[in-house]
Structure 1
């Protein structure tokens, strides 16, 4: 179960890493919209990079593509959901502390729901893997960083690639 949790946190970190981001005040609404679109595009790009990395690292076979595509689609959906929620959160600058907490609770619930969906999508793929490939998956997800592609300071293990310089956990 611990391995599955690490997998989920790793996969969702692409979209969930935005928890640490803060929006810079913009000079004009048009610039703010463009900035939001840029952030959304960067989040989507990180999701796609993580999907490509995992596909290669897990050595997904042609026979596993159907299960893989289902898993990747859940990652994309989770990323889109989280991106939308964070855009809403950053757009609401003048809200009460109570409403802010409610928004955060909504994000946390979406994250939990997305994690459950990811487990459900990964299970058939993992079950289809031979023992050697399962070991590879176990190691890949165990060594993957929990946030934004950064290396763990204590482990010294090699982390999954990330081009995201905006998220600093």
Structure 2
């Protein structure tokens, strides 16, 4: 049970800011390093936002929708960072308190994802067909790493290039 909770907590942490795609090969060394406190976490979220902005080729006409989406990413990242910091500093929790704390993290993640989807929908609708293909590849990997649950933004194929989404998954 504890191993399952640790694995789930890791998955939630990795997806807390949504679409945490790997930094491009041209990113500076350490760009994907674990954040050192709040400033490091915020930097990682900002790096992710900048990467996605570039990857998705956001146009000036899409900036207001993009900004709404990025603001939700920031808010979600801040919320998840605070919850994981609280979890990290909590000592001597009973099993039930530990489970309750984790349930609140999982609920915050689900709530944050709903807000993110709501912000991404109008942005995605404004995308050109090329941008939609880029987004589909950037945010999709069938089965997730190691056949596990989906982890959006981990869709890198061999050679560090984004793997094309399978044709059968076009309706997702």
State the TM bucket, normalised to the shorter chain.
0.5 to 0.7
**C-alpha separation in 1, matches of 2:52 and 2:88:** 30
Bigger RCO (CA 8 Å, 6+ sep) = 1
Other-structure match for 1:33: none
Other-structure match for 1:84: 82
TM-score (norm 2): 0.65
Q: CA distance change for structure 1 residues 10 and 92 in 2, over 3 Å: closer, same or farther?
A: closer
| 1:12 shift after superposition | 2.5
Alpha-carbon RMSD across the aligned residues, in angstroms, is: 2.8
Q: Single out whichever of 124-133 and 52-61 deviates more from structure 2.
A: 124-133
* 1:107 paired to 2:113: no
- Higher helix fraction (1 or 2): 1
Unpaired runs of 5+ residues, structure 1, are 1-8, 15-36, 161-169
> Which of 13, 18, 28 is equivalent to 1:12?
18
Residues paired across the two proteins, number: 127
Aligned pairs for 1:1-169 within 5 A: 9=15, 11-12=17-18, 14=20, 38-142=36-140, 146=151, 155-156=157-158, 158=160
TM-score (norm 1): 0.66
Unpaired runs of 5+ residues, structure 2, are 1-14, 21-34, 146-150, 163-172
